[in-house]
Amino acid sequence: MGHYRSNLRDIAFNLFEVLEVGGYLGTGPFAQMDPDTARGVLEEVERVAGKVFADGFVSGDREGAHLAGEGEVVIPDGIKAGLDAFFDGEWFRLALPEHLGGAGSPPSLTWAASELFLGANPATLMYAAGPFFAAIVDPLVDDALRARYVVPMIERRWGATMVLTEPDAGSDVGAGRTRAVRAGDGTWHLTGTKRFITNGDFDWPENIVHLVLARAEGSGPGTKGLSLFLVPKYWVEEDGSLGERNGVVVTGLEDKMGLKASATCTLAFGESVPARGLLVGEVDDGIRHMFRVIEYARMLVGTKAIATLSTGYLNALDYAKQRVQGPDLLQAADRTAPRVAIIRHPDVRRMLMEQKAHVEGMRALVLYTASLQDRIRLGTDDAEALARRNDLLLPMVKGYGSEKSYELLALSLQTLGGSGYCRDYPHEQYLRDAKIDTLYEGTTGIQGQDLFFRKVARDQGATLGALVDEILATAKGDAGNGALATERALLGTAVGDVQGMLAALVGFFGDPSGRGLYRIGLNTTSLLMSLSELVIGWLLVRQAEVALAALAAGPSAAERAFYEGKVASARYFTRRVLPQLSARRAVLEQTDLAVMDLPDDAF
C-alpha cells in the first residue's frame, strides 16, 4: 500500500455538516457546483491524489531536483506524471474564476481538494502554480497583457513563481536591492539576485512567469519603494509566440533537509543578457499586489502542513492497530498474558489522541477560514468584516498550523518506535518535508508579530472582539443536552486567559522604561499559539454539538464510531490543551527584560 492516507470523511463532515456549504452550492457565483457535484469532485481528487500524486512522493525525494546545462532545472519523472494528471484532469480550474475558465468552485471546496493533493505530494501541487498566479495577476493588467500572459499561464500550463527574497535581506523584503530601469520601449530591465525561490525553474512547462519585486529607478527605500514586474523565462512576443531566452537564470540550487523534489533556486537577473520585465500595476505599489500572492501562499503552507500531519497520523494509527507488542498494562505482571496491539497501551493512545484532536482541529480552522472566503465571494452585507476576520485567521492557519504539525509529526514517528526512524515508513520524510513550513512565507515569529501588530492592534481589537463574542456564545450555549458542560466551561476560561494576555500586551506599550516593545516581542509567538488554540477549541466544540445531534439520530455502527471520535477530539482538546493557556498567561504577565539585558556573549 502507498504512503498516503486521506480523511475524506472528516473533510465532508466539516463542509456539509458543520459549515453547511450545501446551502449555497449551486447558487450565485457557485451555480456550476451543486452539492452532488462537489462531493464527486472530492472523491475523484482523492483518487488522483492517492494514486498518481502519491506514486511520485518517495521517488521524488530520492531523486530530487538537479541543475543541468545552462541553469536548467530537471525535476523527477514522478513529479512530471503528477503534473500531467493534474492538468489533463483540469483540476486547476477549481481555483479559477469563471471568466478565466473556472469551475465555479467555492474556496472551501478548492482548499479541501488542495489538502488531498498536498497530503499526497506537496511538491507536485506547488509546481502547478501558474493558473493560480494568473488569477491574481488578471485584475491588474489590461486586455493585451491578459491575452499575452494570463491566458497562456492557464491554457498552456505555464509555471509561475513569487520572487521576493534576496541573499542579504532575508525576511526583510524592504531591504531588497534588485533594481528595475526603464528600457524606453515600454519594458524594464531588472538587475539583481534573488534567493530561496520555490520552483524558480523546472523542465516541465514551456515557459515560466516570475512575479518579481524590484525597486524602480528613482524609488525610495523600504517596501513602499517596491514595484511588481512580470519577468518571463522566455520573452513573450505581442502575438503570444515565445521569443528568445530572457536574462533570468538559475545560478544555484539549495541542498535542503527535505522537500527535495521542489527546486529552491537562486535567480540572477540581467547578468549577461538583459532581464526584460513588464510593470504590473503602478510604480511603488508592488508590495500591495504581492500581498495577494503572499496571503494565498500562507494559506497554502498551512494547508500543506496540516495535510502532512493528517496522513502521518493515519499511518501511525494503522501501525498501532497492527503492531503487537507487550501485554495490556493491567496484566503487566502476568508473564503468560497475551500480547496486544500497541493501540491498547495508554501512552500510545495518548500520542494518537494528541494527533487526532489537533489535526481535526486544524483542518476545521483551515476550512472555517475558507468558508469565510466563500461568504465574501457571495457578496453578503458583512463582506468587509468577513475579510478582516479572514486576515486575522491567516497567521493562525500558517503559523500555528506549521509549528504544531511539525511538532506532532515527531509524535507520529514516535508512535512507530524505531521503525518510524527508518525509510520503510514515510514519517522520516514527512518530518523533513514539513520543517520548511515553519520557515517560508514568513517564519512563525513573523506570523506572531503580524497577528498582534497588523491584525489585532490595527483596528483596536474590533475584529478579534467580534470573534471572541461568538466563542463566548458557544461557551454559554446549551446544545448537546448538557453533555458538553465541562468543555464549555473550559472554553470560557480560555477566553478569559486570552483576554488577559491581550490586556497585558497592550499594557506593555506604556512601559515606563520605553522598552515595552521588547516585552511585546518576547510574547507574540505565545499569543499566536494561544489564540489559535482558543479558536480551534471553539471549532471542535461546535463540531461536537453537531456530532452529538447525529448520534441521537441513531447512525450506523461505522458512523457512530466517527461521531464518537468527533466528541472525543473536542473533549481531549478542551481538557488537555486549553488549560495550558492559563500557564502561558501567567508567564506572559510576568515578562521582564532579563533576556534582552543579557550580554550577547552570555548566550
- From 222, 254, 283, give the residue that closes a domain: 283
Number of domains in the chain: 4
User: What are the tens digits of pLDDT across the range 306-362?
Assistant: 999 999 999 999 999 999 999 999 999 999 999 999 999 999 999 999 999 999 999
| Claim to verify: residue 277 and residue 314 sit in the same structural domain | no
Residues acting as catalytic residues? 441
Can you tell me the distance from the alpha carbon of 179 to that of 274, in angstroms, rounded to the nearest whole number?
12
pLDDT tens for residues 507-531?
A: 999 999 999 999 999 999 999 999 9
Question: Residues 239, 123: one domain?
Answer: no
Residues 284/330, Cβ–Cβ less than 8 Å: no
One domain, residues 270 and 360: no
Q: Which residue has the cell 500531519?
A: 309
* Cα 44 to Cα 37, 227, 414, distances in angstroms: 11, 41, 32
The reply to whether 393 and 488 lie within a common domain is no
271 and 198 part of one domain: yes
Do 236 and 379 lie in a common domain?
Answer: no
Composition of the chain by helix, strand, coil, percent to 5: 60, 10, 25
pLDDT number for residue 16: 98
**Based on the number of CB atoms within 10 Å of its own CB, is 326 exposed (0-12), middle (13-18) or buried (19 or more)?**
middle
Residue 150 in any domain: the answer is no
Same domain, 197 and 71: no
Low-confidence residues of the chain, pLDDT below 50? Answer: 1
Cβ neighbour number for residue 238 with a 10 Å cutoff? 9
CA atoms within a 13 Å half-sphere pointing along the CA-CB vector of 213? 31
Could you list the residue range(s) of the whole structural domain that residue 163 is in? 158-283
What pLDDT score does 1 carry? 44
The reported pLDDT for the residue numbered 69 is 78
Backbone angles phi, psi at 381, to 5 degrees: -65, -25
